[in-house]
């Protein structure tokens, strides 16, 4: 009875253990001789009696509770299909979304026909993974004011295994920029919402609770961008380049690191400098 080496790296077809007492999870399979073999290239993980081989390279693997950023690909029968960079597109049910008029509003037939009013093909949104199906697909929900359609910003994609899962995925960054780091590697950089005087005035103007919610909700599904100053745009670009630098040097991405690298990058007055490979490597080296 072989004891699997728990820190081991395995390649497809390699024998992990011939002890039948282990439970086999992802990345393993049972051969005809009842022994356990690895089916992917990756690292062996053991959780109690469960053996899995976690592949070190691959598409995004959704976990319940992940905060992700995705793009609508299809408007379908009471649901939207959202592309996440996973093996399958995620589904966002009509019932899992906040619609104008309150959280608990019943969905009428009208709503169904007007789905496109809220989210149409090509829109970006952030959401949370509600449920993961057995075949690898997942279901999302946006039942919180944190989630919804994304505006005023720019999308940056990195390989998903560079994302470190944190408690909060949205970060307020220096320079009036906010970042939402999706667990699937899609990162949304946008102008800070706190700097919106128009919004505040409208709120004060209406003053009703209901309307408050309404307008917030309405804002959530608004299509047009607000005014964004040149400096903000430049800052956003600079953050974009920093993230790409981290990705190219294969370093993990998380909030504090993002702040660090931004500060280090300020040395270079022109954000375009950050596109050079030597500069990227230099910045990353500094972080260690």
Partner 1 sequence: MSRYEIYSPEGLRVDGRRYNELRYFKCALGTHAHAADGSAMVEMGTSQVVCTVKGPQEPQQRSSMDTKKAVLRVNVHVAPFSSITRTKHTSNEKQLQELSMNLEETFADVVLAHLAPRTEIIVDLHVLAQDGNIMAGCVNAMCLGLIDAGVPMLDFIASVGVALADSVPLLDPNHIECSELPNLTVGVTGKSNKASLVIAEKRILLDRIKPSLDLAIMGCKTVHDIMDEQVRIRLNSLEDRIKR
Q: Within 10 Å of residue 125's Cβ, how many Cβ atoms?
A: 24
User: Judged by CB under 8 A, does residue 176 bind partner 1?
Assistant: no
Closest CA to 68 of 215, 182, 164: 182
User: Judged by CB under 8 A, does residue 5 bind partner 1?
Assistant: no
Number of residues in contact with partner 1 under rule CB under 8 A? 33
What are the distances in angstroms from CA 287 to CA 174, 252, 262, 265, 277?
A: 18, 11, 11, 11, 16
In this structure, are residues 83 and 125 in contact, taking their beta carbons and an 8 Å threshold? no
Pick 41 or 228: Cβ nearer partner 1:
41
User: Judged by CB under 8 A, does residue 259 bind partner 1?
Assistant: no
From the list 121, 212, 250, 263, which residue makes contact with partner 1 (rule: CB under 8 A)?
A: 250
Pick 59 or 259: Cβ nearer partner 1:
59
User: Judged by CB under 8 A, does residue 286 bind partner 1?
Assistant: no
Phi, psi of 259 (to 5 degrees): -65, -45
Which residues in the 6-45 window bind partner 1 by CB under 8 A? Answer: 9, 11-13, 27, 29, 37, 39-43
Edge to edge, the sheet with strand 15-17 lists 15-17, 36-38, 28-30
From the list 18, 25, 35, 58, which residue makes contact with partner 1 (rule: CB under 8 A)?
A: 58
138 Cβ partners below 8 Å, 6+ apart? 62, 84, 86, 88, 90, 91, 129, 130, 131, 132
Pick 82 or 115: Cβ nearer partner 1:
82
The least distance separating partner 1 from the CB of residue 43, rounded to whole angstroms, comes to 7
User: Judged by CB under 8 A, does residue 254 bind partner 1?
Assistant: no
**Side-chain half-sphere exposure of 74, counting CA atoms within 13 A:** 11
The least distance separating partner 1 from the CB of residue 46, rounded to whole angstroms, comes to 16
| Long-range contacts from 105-110, C-beta under 8 angstroms, 24+ separation | none
Pick 59 or 146: Cβ nearer partner 1:
59
User: Judged by CB under 8 A, does residue 55 bind partner 1?
Assistant: yes
The least distance separating partner 1 from the CB of residue 242, rounded to whole angstroms, comes to 16
Stretch that binds partner 1, among 91-99, 104-112, 156-164, 219-227 (CB under 8 A): 156-164
From the list 45, 73, 93, 166, which residue makes contact with partner 1 (rule: CB under 8 A)?
A: 73
User: Judged by CB under 8 A, does residue 282 bind partner 1?
Assistant: no
30 Cβ partners below 8 Å, 6+ apart? 24, 36, 37
Contacting residues toward partner 1, per CB under 8 A? 9, 11-13, 27, 29, 37, 39-43, 55-59, 73, 81, 83, 87-89, 135-137, 159, 161-162, 250-252, 288
């Amino acid at each position: 009875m072989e004891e699997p080496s728990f820190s081991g790296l395995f390649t497809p077809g390699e024998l992990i253990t011939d002890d039948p007492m282990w439970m086999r999870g992802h990345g393993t399979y049972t051969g005809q001789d009842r022994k356990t073999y690895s089916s992917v290239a990756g690292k062996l993980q053991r959780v109690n009696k469960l053996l899995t081989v976690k592949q070190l390279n691959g598409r995004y693997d959704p976990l319940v509770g992940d905060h992700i950023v995705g793009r609508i690909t299809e408007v379908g029968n009471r649901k939207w299909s959202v592309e996440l960079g996973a093996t399958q597109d995620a589904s966002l049910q009509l019932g899992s979304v906040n619609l104008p008029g309150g959280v608990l509003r019943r969905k009428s037939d009208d709503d169904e026909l007007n789905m496109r009013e809220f989210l149409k093909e090509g829109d970006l949104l952030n959401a949370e993974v509600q449920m993961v199906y057995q075949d690898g697909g997942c279901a999302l929900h946006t039942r919180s004011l944190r989630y919804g359609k994304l505006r005023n910003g720019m999308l940056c994609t990195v390989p998903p295994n560079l994302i470190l899962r944190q408690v909060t995925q949205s970060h307020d960054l220096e320079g009036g920029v906010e970042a939402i780091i999706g667990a699937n590697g899609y990162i949304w950089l946008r102008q800070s919402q706190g700097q919106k005087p128009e919004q505040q005035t409208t709120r004060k103007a209406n003053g009703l609770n209901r309307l408050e919610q309404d307008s917030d909700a309405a804002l959530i599904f608004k299509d047009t961008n607000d005014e964004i100053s040149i400096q903000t745009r430049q800052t956003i670009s600079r953050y974009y380049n920093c993230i790409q630098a981290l990705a190219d040097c294969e370093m993990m991405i998380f909030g504090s690191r993002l702040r660090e690298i931004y500060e280090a990058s300020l040395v270079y007055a022109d954000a375009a400098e950050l596109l050079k490979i030597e500069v990227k490597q230099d910045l990353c080296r500094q972080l260690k």
